[in-house]
Structure 1
Amino acid sequence: MELGIIGLGSIGGNLAKQATEKDIDVVGCDTADRPELTEKGVTVLDSGDYEGLSERLDPPRAIYLSLPAGELIDDELESITEHLDEGDVVMDGGNSFWRDSMRREERVWEDGIYYLDTGTSGGPPGARHGACFMVGGKEEGFEIVEPILDELSVEGGLLHVGPPGSGHFVKLVHNGVEFGMLQSIAEGVELLEAGDFDVDLEEVFTNWSNGSVIQSWLVELMRDQIREDNYADVPNYVEDTGEVNWLVQEAFKGETPIPVISQSVIELFKSRGNQEHAYQAIAAMRHGFGTHPFGESEDILEERVTGRVDNVSRDHLAQDRENMDTVRPKDRFGDE
């Protein structure tokens, strides 16, 4: 088996290492020399040498793009397809917008070239030892590269989702779920740190990593990060490439409620200090209607702490539950 990889960074490079160890011949193109890959037997060509790439691969060629989403994909795709033949397969392994993938598939299919939107999950460790692939595109194209992807995927981690665009759509929803899970775990850390008990975070996350309902790779990663000596120095700033924003925007267009995923994106914005004026405006209005102080106030802080009333529940809401006149969906629409 042979595989061409364009972009030999953290994902493409690790896929190349894994592939060579599984007797898959790899020819790659990158802006850097990548001696650590050539030592493993990967043929590394200069960036843009798609003629050389094409000459070193037998048809039907299988080429994996490990590039950032956006116009770069269009530019590279235009260049590489000039050197490909009918029946060759191009896989976009990045986080491209699925509607862009649908457009690109139509374009390259005019030349008889298969285009597969190949959502790839697992990060660099997955690329190195077994990734998770969500593939959209024509079935015939998938069948050509299936043996290669099967070798590079973790057990159960290869799925042909459906038609063009579906692979990147499913991967984008996956990223949204990831954001929601990250936010939930982070809020758990906040509660543990702010609580009344002096708990050992590492021990708690170790405990949660063994048989608990929320046992997961993310919980294990949190445990491992807490163990790092520099954990306390990690900046309170979260960066991302913005693809989950597309998911939220599409949800709004379709009136699909995704409050957790939407709020997780908002929390990223807040971490970057992007609200320069909102809290100032709130403070000004609160001062206007209630002469609330500007800035910190020890008196207000004391009132906030000592004014709490403990052991207050909302049980009274359930006292008359049997007599409540609940409005059900069928009542709203007049259904029987």
Structure 2
Amino acid sequence: MKLAMIGLGKMGYNLSQNLLDHGHELVAYDISEDNVKNICSEGAIAAYSLEEVVKQLESPRIVWMMVPAGQITENVLSSLGEMLETGDIVIDGGNSNYKDSIRRGNELQEKGIHFLDCGTSGGVDGARNGACLMIGGDNEIFNKIEPIFKDVTVENGYFYSGKLGSGHYLKMIHNGIEYGMMQSIAEGFDILEKSEFSFDYEGVARVWNNGSVIRSWLMELTETAFSKDPKLDGIRGIMNSSGEGKWTVETALDLQVPAPVITLSLLMRYRSLEDDTFTGKVVAALRNEFGGHEVISK
């Protein structure tokens, strides 16, 4: 099939290579001209503006977006909404909030433009060699372009999740689960680090990933990380977050679903951003006031 890829960052570029490997004709656009030139050297068709993207596709057009969630996605979709025609299809493969995806899809539908919200997992390696996709939107439109999703995913690695918004909702919950899994792995290794034993953490991760009940791709990545830096001395323990964990917790609160593991894993990420918290100061001061407990001065 012929389609366009908008956004050639780490995910979009590797996904473009994946599409080209499977024989798809690809029009590629990114704000970085170097990225466009690089992917074109591998067989893509260059576009240096959204207008060029639209002009180089025949109706009904298929446009796959892999751009950062939020205002950038909003801006790109707003522009595309003025350029595309009835029957054209837009896929948002970024980590958009599902509520935004429902609104955007409805706005495009008013113009006769179809919209699929596509949660994308598997990281950069997955985008290149076989991703995991969760796709929401009109079932008829999904069926029409299903061969694209089948080509770029691993076996059983794509799923039509239902109505508009369900793809990004599913990816949001997926990422919330991921927060909890990563936090539990990190806490386990932290306890090992503070023990009386001297463990080879690469070896620990390797044995845990072979035959144990906690084997996983995350444990495989843990092994890889420790193979590069046995004590992780080269990095700081700052855990950034991209939004999906927060949205998962907010949704759990709205639905009155207890989700303590995901919630605490999100809060631990926030805690990692501070070296000396005001919360800690208040608690230390209170313990000193009521019990005369020692405080540590600067």
Which TM-score bucket, shorter chain as reference? over 0.9
Q: Equivalents in 2 of 1:220, 1:73: separation in Å?
A: 32
Partner residue in 2 for 1:236: 237
Greater Cα offset, 101-110 or 67-76:
67-76
Match of 2:55 in 1: 55
The amino acid across from 1:66 in the alignment is: M
* Distance in structure 1 (CA, Å) of the matches to 2:46 and 2:121: 24
**Structure 2 SS opposite 1:132:** strand
Which residue identity does 1:95 align to in structure 2? N
Equivalent AA in structure 1 for residue 93 of structure 2: G
The TM-score with structure 2 as length reference comes to: 0.95
Structure 2 stretches lacking a partner, 5+ long: none
The answer on 1:174 being equivalent to 2:182 is no
Amino acid of the residue matched to residue 111 of structure 2? Answer: D
> Does the 8 Å CA contact 2:87/2:114 hold for their aligned counterparts?
yes
Does structure 1 retain, via aligned residues, the 8 Å contact 2:101–2:164?
A: yes
Residue 66 of structure 2 corresponds to: 66
Asked if the contact 1:208–1:215 (Cα under 8 Å) also holds between the matched residues in 2, the reply is yes
Which residues in structure 2 correspond to 1:152-231 (within 5 Å)? 152-229=152-229, 231=232
Distance in 1 separating the partners of 2:285 and 2:31: 53
1:37 to 26, 36, 39: 39
| Superposition map of 1:141-152 within 5 A | 141-152=141-152
CA distance in 1, matches of 2:242, 2:95: 9
Q: CA deviation at 1:63?
A: 0.9
Q: CA deviation at 1:36?
A: 2.3
Q: Say which is worse superposed, 128-137 or 59-68, in terms of deviation.
A: 59-68
TM-aligned CA deviation for residue 275 of structure 1: 6.1
Counterpart in the other structure of 1:92? 92
| Residue 251 of structure 1: how far off its partner (Å) | 1.2
Contact 1:89–1:145 (Cα < 8 Å) also in 2: no
Distance 1:57 1:258 in 2: 45
- Which moved further from structure 2: 131-140 or 57-66? 57-66
SS at match of 1:167: helix
Q: Which has the higher contact order (CA 8 A, sep 6+)?
A: 2
2:128 is matched with 128
Separation of aligned partners in 2, 1:275 and 1:294: 13
Structure 2 counterpart SS, 1:82 = helix
Structure 2 residue identity aligned to 1:36: N
Shift of 1:71: 2.2
Deviations 1:124-150 (A, max 9, x none): 111100111000101112122211111
Counterpart AA for 1:211? G
Q: What is the number of equivalent residue pairs in this alignment? A: 294
Task: Report what 1:295 is aligned to.
Answer: 296
Q: Which residue of 1 aligns with 2:278?
A: 277
RMSD value over aligned CA atoms? 1.4
Q: Report the Cα offset of residue 175 of structure 1.
A: 0.2
Q: Tell me how far apart the structure 2 counterparts of residues 209 and 248 of structure 1 sit (CA, whole Å).
A: 29
More displaced 10-residue stretch of structure 1: 190-199 or 273-282:
273-282
Q: Following TM superposition, by how much is the alpha carbon of 1:238 offset from its aligned partner in structure 2, in angstroms?
A: 1.1
